[in-house]
Amino acid sequence: MKIFDSSKEYQPVIGFEIHVQLATKSKMFSPAPNNPDEVRPNTNIDEIVTGQPGTLPVANREAIRLAAMVGLALNCQIDEWSKFDRKHYFYPDLPKGYQISQYDQPISKNGHLDIALSVIARSASDEAISSKGEIASAALAMTSKTKIKRIGITRAHLEEDAGKNIHPEGLSYSLVDYNRAGCPLLEIVTEPDLESGEECRVFLQELRNIIRYLGASDCDMEKGTMRCEPNISVRKPGETSLPKYKVEVKNINSFKFAEAAINYEIARQTEMLKEGKTPKQVTMGWDEKSSQTVEQRSKEEANDYRYFPEPDLPVLQFTKEYLDKLRAEMPELPAQKRARFLEEFNLPAADVENLINWKELANYFEQVVSEIDEWLEQEKGLDRNQLIKLVANWCLQDFSAALNKEFKNPLDSQVTAENFAELIKLIAQAKISGSAAKTVFKVMYEKGGEPLSIVDDLGLHQVSDELAIEEAIDKVIDQNQKAVTDFKAGEQKSFGFLVGQTMKELKGKGNPQIINEILKRKLS
């Protein structure tokens, strides 16, 4: 996070318009199924979705509840009265010739989302500032710490999605698929409080986490259940008001691209401003291949949508009782979980972040930890922090990798939290070696089963019995006098050789630490 000196620098001004497809069973105003994974066109439709004459919308209660939950989680004001409005325009993917949306009385407004950013602060020296107002990084003393930045949420409202137009190449016609038409969308608009690509990425991630934690949507940018359009402008040095233009960027389908596109735009616009030009108020599209934003065919004049209140739907009343009930049902949100994990588990921030970003894994992790904690009540003398770190490592590395390959949820895997915890215990007690653990885990993941039986079946018990190891070492020393001599003469490699031979003697099951200790002792 950069702290700008607005009198001297070009300061980016960025806001978002985000559309989230809510995970309800049926569509926003009809009982037709809401399933973003349906590939057969025009399947999730009914007479209401295709705008047959005489049909009427019926509001989806669950969509309204999810919208209100998101509003509350974003610290928004939810007024008692809200309503739907008709927004008119003609396009083949809009069946009724109007979209049912919300205009002047959205469900939520005036909220905020706090994000944590690492701050780069300038040293006191002004000579470090070059003549163009840029920060000459080499001359600065940088300090890094985390700061909380508050991003304003202007509003969040409900509306129905449009269908999809498909333009087969080279043909004289286009096709329309209404599977997506009528799906419930939550449109979230932010204040233009963001100032860099990185901030935007962090913001989007936190927003996505909140929405996922509420079960409101899977927020998958690639699938299209979360779409975001940044509006970017840059303030000239000395400007205090909002710039008179803004550039909208479309076709962003990952957070990585969002960051790249925004940074690209900031650079492009800053260049133009430095040349004394004002960037055009246009819509740009992000081109992945060239990593650039490209001007899109601009729409003609701004549409007059002729909004008026939807006469087919009654107004919505959010009573105090209803909102209190939602607040009581609010699950632990990412910010709270993050704080709790940092405190309870003493894990490095990066590990916590990775767990927070994957709610199901975080929950699984906690289940394993609680198994471990139960065990620690009997087995005193072990380091809890060390064990937790072990759990985190295994969750974030081997387990994550396996799950991601199959796009699986931890709870859908064959590895129960109990068995996972068992495995960790075996490793902590040095009953199996690190590589044996990997083998056991692989079997657990592919076939399930308890770690102890797998270890027995595969004969992977690590030999930690000192007497047995000493016996093996004695034998190896006996049979490899030359190596012993070499080592005593300074040849470090020979030590490794002797360790290897000992391991061989123990059929690969020797506890490496103990082997090392005893061998060192014997050779000293």
What is the contact surface with another protein in residues (CB under 8 A)?
47, 50-59, 86, 88, 90, 92, 95-98, 176, 304, 306-308, 311-314
* Residues facing 150 on adjacent strands: 114
Identify the DSSP state of 254: S
| Shortest distance in whole angstroms from residue 300 CB to another protein | 11
| Shortest distance in whole angstroms from residue 168 CB to another protein | 15
| Shortest distance in whole angstroms from residue 173 CB to another protein | 11
Q: DSSP E strands: which ranges in 51-174?
A: 81-82, 85-88, 98-101, 108-121, 143-160, 164-166
388: how many CB neighbours lie within 10 A of its CB?
Answer: 21
| Shortest distance in whole angstroms from residue 156 CB to another protein | 23
Select 245 or 307, whichever has its Cβ closest to another protein. 307
Rounded to whole angstroms, how far apart are CA atoms 420 and 447?
13
| Shortest distance in whole angstroms from residue 84 CB to another protein | 10
Select 141 or 175, whichever has its Cβ closest to another protein. 175
Select 49 or 498, whichever has its Cβ closest to another protein. 49
Select 305 or 375, whichever has its Cβ closest to another protein. 305
517: how many CB neighbours lie within 10 A of its CB?
Answer: 13
Q: Are strands 247-250 and 283-287 parallel, antiparallel or unpaired?
A: parallel
Identify which of 100, 101, 102, 94 has the alpha carbon closest to the alpha carbon of residue 50.
94
| Shortest distance in whole angstroms from residue 126 CB to another protein | 50
Rounded to whole angstroms, how far apart are CA atoms 451 and 463?
17
Question: What is the amino acid identity at position 374?
Answer: E
Select 45 or 499, whichever has its Cβ closest to another protein. 45
Three-state secondary structure string covering 56-84: CCCCCHHHHHHHHHHHHHCCCECCCEECC
| Shortest distance in whole angstroms from residue 96 CB to another protein | 5
Select 100 or 156, whichever has its Cβ closest to another protein. 100
Identify the DSSP state of 450: -
Select 91 or 339, whichever has its Cβ closest to another protein. 91
